[in-house]
Chains A and B, each alone.
Chain A
Amino acid sequence: MARTAEHALVGSDRDALGRALRQWLPDAAVLDQIEQLRPYECDGLSAYRRLPLVVVLPDTVEQVQAVMRYCASQRIPVVARGAGTGLSGGALPLENGVLLSLAKFNRILDVDLLNRTARVQPGVRNLAISEAVSAPGLYYAPDPSSQIACSIGGNVAENAGGLHCLKYGLTVHNILKLEVVTVEGDLVTIGADSLDAPGYDLLALMTGSEGMLGIIVEITVRLLPKPASAKLMMASFDDVEKAGNAVGNIIATGIIPGGLEMMDNLATRATEDFVHAGYDIDAAAILFCELDGTPEEVSDDIERVKNVLEQSGCTDMRIAKDEAERQLFWSGRKAAFPAAGRLSPDYYCIDGTIPRKQIGYVLTRIAEMGQEYGLRIANVFHAGDGNLHPLILYDGNQPGELERTEELGGKILELSVEVGGTITGEHGVGVEKINQMCVQFDKSELSQFHALKAAFDPNNLLNPGKAVPTLSRCAEFGAMHVHKGELKFPDLERF
């Protein structure tokens, strides 16, 4: 069941705000009719829905500045939205706020082949960048599974990762410069066309800041040469811990694979039904290992990894025989989320990161917790970088099942912190994991986050209520913990 925050409609506010914003925007770029607002009521985390007061669709930087100036002067909160594929509710609108869509900023402005950079607008799709520079042999490295739809502005706001992070890094490692509109409507350049910029590293700070510090209106990304050769190996294991150890054994050889991914049995079965890639559906876990580089390097590495996988006790091993088969092998892994969606009416994706050596323990604990809660869990794992995505299968039409699922999800995140990891590897905190922030950070750390936020946004107008919980919220969450499961204030809104 969708979770809808019901509020008395503030019709007059809506009309007045719509009128005011039309001073700077074309009529069609201001949406203030309820039916127009519906498509914006949620992002990829559809369990949370809320209508904004007004949606604006500017298509120039000046228009964004004008919207911000007006909203700042009237103390109206603003939530920025890219393609709306985010999985943590970062773009969930505020009922008293403006939703600022950057969908019209969809142009690649400039490609500099010799410097290997591209200047793009935030609404450009991730994959479109790589497609545009493919002919001269370049690509943009971060490749979140949603890359066909997600936009680069959202990638920066969430510091998106993907399947090749261990070797090629996250968004923060692959961008050079941002144009940002501040809460007051000023335009500032952060970063530079050079490899570094003077002063504090605001580029790192903006990346992953979930729309809390400024509105990103232009991004300069770094492009890499496409590897001359890429080979994908797929190994089966009869035990997840063995598969986890195999990853460590590969790293021990001194090879950093381009991609290292793992799926457990349930995830393997689900994706095999979906894409028919020929996965070993009897394996407890399958491990994907992609080796890329020069043909000479790859042929060296593949022999070494073959030995390691055998010594690590794999029960079966296949090497994609050509590019088509490599794509086929990957297709299942990339389709793990929709495949899980076919196993169950609903699924809920968790995003903890753990030290890789803990994988066996963590998967055992997750299975135990799943039994305790009566919910099935399929696991896909960015094994190279420790980012674990348990997919909890549930039926939102069964009363209480979403609530149980969310509680189980919270427990899994707390487990991630307990073993030395983090509550979110690449999806962001948003509204979804805001309570677990109280587990990962203490009072003084959260206060430092708030002070930092105030340095950019003193009146707390940019995406307020997301990413960093207030101290009182954490106090309440702590109280909830004491009462385990029995919520003290069941009528309280819990984002």
Chain B
Amino acid sequence: MQPALNPDNNIDKQISLAVKQAAVERIPLRLRGGDTKAFYGRASEGQPLDLRGHNGVVSYEPLELVVTARAGTLLVDLESDLAEQGQMLGFEPPHFGDGATLGGAIACGFSGPRRPYAGSARDFVLGARIINGHGELLRFGGQVMKNVAGYDISRLTVGAMGTLGVIVEVSMKVLPVPAREATVRFSMPAAQAIGQMNEWAGQPIPISGTCYHDGTLHVRVSGSAKGVDAAIIKLGGELIDEGAAFWHGVKEQRHSFFADNQAQWRISVPQAAPPLPIEGEWLIEWGGGQRWLKTDAPTDVIRKQVEAAGGHATLFRGGDRSEEVFHPLTPGLSNLHRNLKNAFDPQRIFNPGRLYRDL
């Protein structure tokens, strides 16, 4: 475990200086933590700016349900600090490796199985300190649940792939670890599973995870002991023992679906959208809201089908990463994105092109 508040682990001034220099010399920077998510986003060249030295939990107030940690803090360390107090990150961030840092998790904006039921990474962010393209250290949001002073720049940085600024510190709401969790499974076809997950979600049942693959639907419920018992009876299905391992596998993509090296698409559609007419192997999560796809179908076919279903498609892993990997934006949105990039990073030094080619 890392010592909290060791001044040696606070290098925000050095990071700020490095950014200022890069801005003056117009040297593109590749922001990096543990490089566990280097596969994600477009290919982007730049001088590495290693943020791992900026680490440690700055403050943790279990009774306030708030933790603040530096960006280079390892997720495993942060989560173990929280677990000691019976708490957790409610968005269950995937690590994708032991070296995963908080900053990387927030910059990528990844959330795990609990996302549709408890909220996403950005939902749990309360505040952030960032360094903009001028090398200025800025603080937005705060360490309280409710804060509407100024534009919500801390949440804007979530999922921005580091293109707006260096995230140096994040404050987050945390949740108590549920007293009990249980997993039940069912056999059914995909269309029925999607309908079923959404019907349940419209009822007061404490569901905290759903996953459908190859004819089997897994459902996790969380809450008080009696609450979970009652939910299991209500849901029916077959209770399984290895629930925790199953959800860990889904979250970290160690499930057999993810085992091969085939290019992998992440499809985000309205949760109740029926199965999409694209040939390939599917794994469905988030009550139908997040679907993983391995397919030989061409990019434009995938994007067209997904758009018709009201969603967007990301080439998550593999494939051609010199092309756009995130879903193309409408011209109006694209314009706003360029303006925003310019407002934060006018010299385009942060992860140029990692999110979209022209950002």
Q: A residues near B, CB below 8 A?
A: 112-117, 136-138, 158-159, 161, 165-166, 169-170, 172-173, 182, 186-190, 192-202, 204-205, 207-209, 212-213, 225-228, 248-249, 251-252, 254-256, 293-297, 299-301, 353-357, 382, 384-387, 420-429, 433, 437, 440-441, 444-445, 448-449, 451-456, 467-468
Query: A192 near B343 (CB under 8 angstroms)?
Result: no
Instruction: Looking at the assembled complex, report how far the CB atom of A99 sits from the nearest CB atom of chain B, in whole angstroms.
Output: 22
A455 to chain B, nearest CB (A): 4
- Closest Cβ–Cβ distance, residue B190 to chain A (whole Å): 15
Contact A254/B146 with A137-B203, A200-B156, A294-B223 known, Cβ cut-off 8 Å: no
Pick the contact of B148 from A173, A226, A427 — CB < 8 Å? A427
Check: B311 CB closer than 8 A to any chain A CB. yes
Q: How far is the CA of A207 from the CA of B150 in the complex (A)?
A: 11
Q: Choose among A193, A201, A428, A454 the residue that contacts B158 (Cβ–Cβ < 8 A).
A: A201
> Which chain A residue has the least Cβ–Cβ distance from B205?
A294
Using C-beta atoms within 8 Å of the partner chain, give the interface range for chain B.
35 or more
Contact present for A357 and B343 (CB under 8 Å)? no
A194 & B176 in contact (Cβ 8 Å cutoff): no
Closest to B137 in A: A444
**A199-B355, A199-B356, A354-B144 are known contacts. Are A445 and B138 too (CB-CB below 8 A)?**
yes
**Chain B residues in the interface with A (C-beta under 8 A):** 61-66, 86, 109, 115-116, 119-120, 122-123, 132, 134, 136-140, 142-153, 155-156, 158-160, 164, 175-177, 179, 195, 198-199, 201-206, 223-227, 229-231, 268-272, 286, 289-290, 310-312, 314, 326-330, 332-333, 336-337, 339-340, 342-344, 355-356
Q: Are B310 and A194 in contact (CB under 8 A)?
A: yes
With A452-B151, A456-B339 as known contacts, state yes or no: A195 contacts B286, CB within 8 Å.
yes
B202 → A minimal CB distance (Å): 5
Please list the 7 inter-chain residue pairs (A to B) with the smallest Cβ-Cβ separation, ordered nearest first: A297-B227, A254-B176, A455-B339, A385-B145, A425-B146, A204-B155, A248-B63
Q: Which residues of A contact B122 (CB under 8 A)?
A: 201, 204
Which listed residue (B140, B177, B286, B332) contacts A186, Cβ 8 A? B332
Whether A115 touches B63, Cβ cut-off 8 Å, given contacts A293-B206, A452-B343, is: no
One of B151, B159, B327 near A200 (C-beta < 8 A): B159
A421 partner, pick from B142, B199, B203, B330, beta carbons under 8 A? B142
How many Å lie between the Cα of A384 and that of B149 in the bound state?
19
User: Smallest CB–CB gap between B331 and chain A, Å?
Assistant: 9
Q: Name the A residues within 8 Å of B116 (CB-CB).
A: 195
Chain A residue nearest to B342 in the complex (CB): A455
A293 touches B63 (CB 8 A): no
Residue contact A192 to B310, C-beta cutoff 8 Å = yes
| Cβ-defined contact, B332 with A193, below 8 A | no
Q: When the two chains form their complex, are residues A196 and B268 in contact, meaning their CB atoms are under 8 A apart? A: yes
Knowing A188-B332, A420-B142, A448-B138, the reply to whether A425 touches B153 (Cβ < 8 A) is no
A186-B332, A205-B155, A251-B65 as given contacts; A355 in contact with B86, CB under 8 Å: no
Q: Is the CB of A198 within 8 A of B329?
A: yes
Interface centre among B143, B144, B342 (most CB of A within 10 A): B144
